[in-house]
Amino acid sequence: MLRPAGIPEGFAASNGRIEATEVDIATKIAGRIDTILVSEGQFVRQGEVLAKMDTRVLQEQRLEAIAQIKEAESAVAAARALLEQRQSEMRAAQSVVKQREAELDSVSKRHVRSRSLSQRGAVSVQQLDDDRAAAESARAALETAKAQVSAAKAAIEAARTSIIQAQTRVEAAQATERRIVADIDDSELKAPRDGRVQYRVAEPGEVLSAGGRVLNMVDLSDVYMTF
C-alpha cells in the first residue's frame, strides 16, 4: 500500500475534523454578571473561578436571614424563661393546694367534733355554725387552689408550644440562610475541568436567567476526529 509522501512510518493521513468536548459555563441562579476573569483562548484549570455574579442582593438577603435567626433565638430564650416562670407558679400553686387540703382536713374534723358535741349540748349552736362555715370556706379555698393548678398547667403547655414555634422559626431562618450561602457560592462560576476558554458568550453587566450561558470552553483532554 502506498503512503502519501512525507508521512512517517506508523502514521496515516486522512481528511476529517478535529473536535473536542465543549462545556458551557452557565449560571445556576438568575442575576447580573459582575465580572469575567478570563479571556477567549485562555487555558484554565479545574476549580478556577472564571466569572462572578453580582451578589449584593443575596448578601442583603443573608443579613436579613441572620437577623431573623437572632430574633427567633431571642424568642426561644424568652419562651424558655416564661416556661420556667410558669413551672415555678405551678409548684407554688401545688403547695397552696396541699396547705388548703390540710386546712380543710383540720376544720372538717373540728366540724365533725362540734356536731357530735352539739347533739349532747356540749357546744353552742353558734359554735357549730361557725365550724360549719369554716369547713365550707376551707373547701371553697381548696377548689380555688386546684383551679390555679389547672391554670398553671395550661400556662406551661402554652409556654412549651411557644418554644416549639420559636424553634421552628429558628430552623426555618437557618435553612433560608444556608440556601442563600449556597446561592452566593454558586455565584462564582468555576471551571468544571481543565480546558481552554473558547467563547465569552456574555459580558459583565448583562442580566441572565438561571442557566444562562456565560462562557464556552473545550476540554483538550478529550480531543477526537470526525470524518
User: What pLDDT, in 10s, does the model give residues 28-83?
Assistant: 999 999 999 999 999 999 999 999 999 999 999 999 999 999 999 999 999 999 99
Alpha-carbon span 187 to 192, nearest angstrom: 14
At the fourth CATH level, the homologous superfamily of domain 56-186 is Helix Hairpins (1.10.287.620)
Q: Are 33 and 215 in contact (CB under 8 A)?
A: no
pLDDT over 80 (residue 172):
yes
Q: Are 225 and 44 in contact (CB under 8 A)?
A: no
pTM as predicted: 0.69
Residue 112: what pLDDT? 77
Beta bridge mates, 53: 33
Residue 219: what pLDDT? 85
Q: Which CATH architecture has domain 1-54+187-227?
A: Beta Barrel (2.40)
Average pLDDT over residues 125-138: 81
Residue 109: what pLDDT? 84
Alpha-carbon span 61 to 84, nearest angstrom: 35
CA distances from 132 to 105, 107, 125, 135, 152 (A): 13, 8, 10, 5, 30
Which of 70-84, 108-122, 157-171 is predicted with the least confidence, judged by mean pLDDT? 108-122
**Mean pLDDT, rounded, of the chain:** 88
What are the residue ranges spanned by the domains of the chain?
A: 1-54+187-227, 56-186
- Band (15; pLDDT cuts 50, 70, 90): low
